[in-house]
Amino acid sequence: MNYIGENLRLEIFGGSHGPELGMTLRGFPAGEAVDTEALASFLARRAPGRNAWSSARSETDEPLFRSGLTDGMSDGSPITAVIANADARPEDYEKTASVPRPGHADYAARLKYGAIPPGGGAFSGRMTAPLCLAGGLCLQALARRGVRIVSRIAELGGVCDEGELTEKAQSGGFPTLSEARGEAMKAAIAAAKADGDSLGGVVECAVFGLPGGLGGPLFDGLEGRIAALLFAVPAVKGVEFGLGFGSARLRGSENNDAFRIVNGRVVTETNRCGGILGGISDGMPLVLRAAFKPTPSIAKEQKSVDLDTMTETTLSVAGRHDPCVVPRAVPCVEAAAALALFDALLSAEAAGDDLPALRARIDRVDADLQALFERRMLLCERIAACKKDLALPILDEKREREKLSAVEKRSLPSLREYDRALFSRLMALSRMYQEELLETEERFLGQEDEP
């Protein structure tokens, strides 16, 4: 599972009920100090088992860095860190291995992978622990650049928080500005839980100190780049920037943010666009909201089906679940925003035509090339298996000639020979890899035959 930004690459591995899960973050610049205590406090805001409104699963969620940090600083190599699963209970899910939980990813996973993974597998909310780890690193790097991300629960169980999210908002405890509204939300969660049910809600996030000019039109737009990461957070069903859907109900004269000059700086009188115009940050606070659906796993009896016997049945989900994922999801929203924004900021830092900026750009292209090359080689593994099944030779000279001719047709005239050389070498490497795979398999099968 990969996130591929312009500069950053994040791979999340492991699952909710295996021994551990973790992440590798590539493209994170060297020389960034990492405050592991601050990172631990950030991860603790998401960790389960700490209060009445979250799952009873007890995990410390302390990251163990395997690479990428030297003497508390990022060293420019990929940062890999793992988090142990100390309190997994896959047996809780044995009874429901063929009965999908309504609202969860169980049925979709069975359609795609042929089985329901225990405890939600890669779909589990636990996968957001490594997301928060990567996002936490980006939050610190952003803070050093004067960018601060804060958030709160804006709405939950019919209760709305009060006040405006400002740069001074502190994250900690139950994440609302109004303590009284927070208490009302907690009471709503407790009531839903007592009823064997669950709640959803809305998280609001604001980013202060973001320079104007980040992002770009169309596919480079900040909204799309942030939303892609937000929608990776399980249970997110809607994302809006600024007034979002509300702006659809206004006239232009009501919705436009008028410009002013304050202390020699262009600002807008209001911020209905949420700090983004044309996909580009306008220098005002970036404001977004993410809507979370109610937790799917509930004790209340629901209709489902047994996919093995193809009969209708009912299901009451046991095990440990969040009666409402929203409080624990608040740092996940911050992490998603931090990743997308630090990625965009790195692009701005690498812009320019001097040697360091050009080298930074070539490093990005190389990282892209490597990711694509690895994707191609992984496809070669499957091609080798198909050729073996069909008893076909690895070298297909006709196919290679056709590929080279297609490459030449796409080439810039000045680069035709270089393209040809590159793709000839690529195909040779892919043949080498396929041969090696088949040889290893034959050796392995040969060993199995021995008495």
Ligand X SMILES: Cc1cc2nc3c(=O)[nH]c(=O)nc-3n(C[C@H](O)[C@H](O)[C@H](O)COP(=O)(O)O)c2cc1C
The residues binding ligand X (CB under 6 A) are 55, 104-105, 120, 123-125, 128, 233-235, 293, 295-297, 321-322, 325, 328-329, 332
| Least distance from ligand X to the Cβ atom of residue 184, Å | 21
Nearer to ligand X, 12 or 332 (CB): 332
Nearer to ligand X, 59 or 223 (CB): 59
Tokens representing residue 10 in the block: 């994040």
| Least distance from ligand X to the Cβ atom of residue 444, Å | 36
Nearer to ligand X, 84 or 385 (CB): 84
| Least distance from ligand X to the Cβ atom of residue 332, Å | 5
Query: What's the alpha-carbon Rg for the chain, to the nearest Å?
Result: 25
Tokens representing residue 444 in the block: 């392995």
Using CA atoms, how far apart are residues 365 and 360, in angstroms rounded to an integer? 9
Q: Per residue in 120-151, is it b (16+ CB within 10 Å) or e — as a string?
A: bbbbbbbbbbbbbbbbbbbbbbbeeeebbbbb
Closest CA to 117 of 94, 138, 139, 136: 94
Q: What is the DSSP string of 328-339?
A: HHHHHHHHHHHH
> Is the separation of the CB atoms in 275 and 285 below 8 Å?
yes
Nearer to ligand X, 228 or 437 (CB): 228
Nearer to ligand X, 45 or 225 (CB): 45
Question: In sequence order, what are the residues at sequence separation of 6 or more whose Cβ sits closer than 8 angstroms to the Cβ of residue 225?
Answer: 5, 215, 340, 343, 344
| Least distance from ligand X to the Cβ atom of residue 127, Å | 8
| Least distance from ligand X to the Cβ atom of residue 328, Å | 4
Nearer to ligand X, 257 or 322 (CB): 322
∠324-330-335 over CA atoms, to 5°? 135
Nearer to ligand X, 5 or 201 (CB): 201
| Least distance from ligand X to the Cβ atom of residue 46, Å | 6
Tokens representing residue 137 in the block: 């690193």
Closest CA to 330 of 42, 40, 123: 42
Using CA atoms, how far apart are residues 126 and 181, in angstroms rounded to an integer? 27
Q: What is the DSSP string of 248-297?
A: GGS-HHHHS--EEEETTEEEES--TTTTEETTEE-SSPEEEEEEEPPPS-
What are the CA-CA distances from residue 406 to residues 179, 410, 413, 427, 429 (Å)?
65, 7, 14, 14, 19
| Least distance from ligand X to the Cβ atom of residue 329, Å | 4
Q: Which residue is nearest to ligand X (CB)?
A: 125
Residue 34's SS3 state is coil
Nearer to ligand X, 59 or 282 (CB): 59
| Least distance from ligand X to the Cβ atom of residue 231, Å | 8
Sign of CA dihedral 412, 418, 424, 425: negative
| Least distance from ligand X to the Cβ atom of residue 174, Å | 15
Nearer to ligand X, 225 or 328 (CB): 328
Residue 343: burial class (beta carbons within 10 Å; 0-12, 13-18, 19+): buried
| Least distance from ligand X to the Cβ atom of residue 120, Å | 5
Nearer to ligand X, 69 or 189 (CB): 189
